[in-house]
């Protein structure tokens, strides 16, 4: 039986993250993984984010989805994706009917001007999608030398 040190186990995700690939490919792969072949409805979801951000280190964002939030019909997850960030899947929020409302708010980091996408999944297997363009004056997520 092979035993791994704690350091070796922690290095595996770092090595995987270092594999080169374009942000567009990563964004498309992340979106495809969430949608799993489903066609998203472009209604019933509201993504609020400022159209212009002077500093990409902290950008306010909120997502609201029209849902009865009952045991039979509720939002199970809200995903936030940033098209040109090094890691496009910025956040995933898991919800239950006990949340009362399908609404989340957070701050995200943005590498550059780009499209932000919110995808909501329902307990009945449907998906909703909203997208907004954001202009970022001073980007975050930059690598240093």
- Block means of pLDDT (10 residues each) for the chain, 145 residues, are 52 44 83 97 97 95 97 98 96 96 97 97 98 94 58
**What distance in Å separates the CA atoms of residue 120 and residue 138, rounded to the nearest whole number?**
29
pLDDT at 14: 42
10 in any annotated domain:
no
30 in any annotated domain:
yes
4 in any annotated domain:
no
What are the distances in angstroms from CA 7 to CA 12, 22, 23?
A: 9, 28, 28
Our count of domains for the chain comes to 1
CATH code for the domain in which residue 77 is found: 2.60.40.2470
C-beta atoms surrounding 80 within 10 Å:
21
70 in any annotated domain:
yes
Which residues have CB under 8 Å from 127's CB, separation 6+?
Answer: 34, 35, 38, 39, 40, 41, 119, 120, 121
């Amino acid at each position: 039986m092979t035993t791994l040190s704690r350091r070796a186990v922690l290095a595996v995700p770092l090595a995987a993250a270092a594999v080169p690939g374009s942000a567009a490919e990563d964004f498309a792969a992340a979106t495809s993984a969430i949608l799993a072949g489903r066609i998203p409805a472009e209604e019933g979801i509201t993504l609020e984010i400022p159209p212009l951000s002077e500093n990409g280190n902290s950008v306010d964002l909120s997502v609201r989805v029209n849902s009865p939030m009952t045991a039979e019909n509720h939002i199970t997850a809200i995903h936030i994706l940033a098209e040109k960030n090094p890691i496009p899947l910025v956040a995933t929020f898991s919800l239950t009917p006990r949340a009362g409302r399908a609404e989340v708010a957070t701050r995200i980091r943005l590498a550059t001007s780009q499209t932000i996408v919110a995808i909501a999944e329902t307990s009945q297997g449907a998906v909703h999608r909203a997208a907004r363009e954001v202009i970022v004056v001073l980007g975050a997520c930059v690598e240093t030398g």
